[in-house]
Amino acid sequence: MSLFFSRQSSLIAYPQAIEVKRNTPYIPPEIILVILNMLSDDKKTLASCALVNRTFNLHAIPILYHTISFTFPLTFTRFADTIYCVTECSSLIRHLDLSGFSTC
């Protein structure tokens, strides 16, 4: 039985909270990684998957940061600011594509 406090600070029991926890399906991390690798070209969906839970996040973030491409200087500036603040992500970058920048 799970216990929660209401706004009146009285103790309320919610046995169904335990039921939900027990019935949550388990997906092995190896399967999650296979699924996320199939989404490697769809950055928007991959970013959404990173928000599902810790396991998805653990596997999605390295795929998201593996190859970074830029077409506009503004997006590069925002990305550089992010990498400067979150240095753990910078070590995940394997390819940085700046070919979309114009030379003029």
Three-state SS at 14:
strand
Phi, psi of 12 (to 5 degrees): -125, 135
Rounded to an integer, the average pLDDT of 6-22 is: 52
Using an 8 Å Cβ cutoff, are 64 and 43 in contact?
A: yes
pTM greater than 0.85 (yes/no): no
Using an 8 Å Cβ cutoff, are 63 and 35 in contact?
A: no
CA distance 85 to 82: 5
Residue-level pLDDT at 31: 95
Residue-level pLDDT at 3: 44
- Greater confidence (13 vs 91) lies with 91
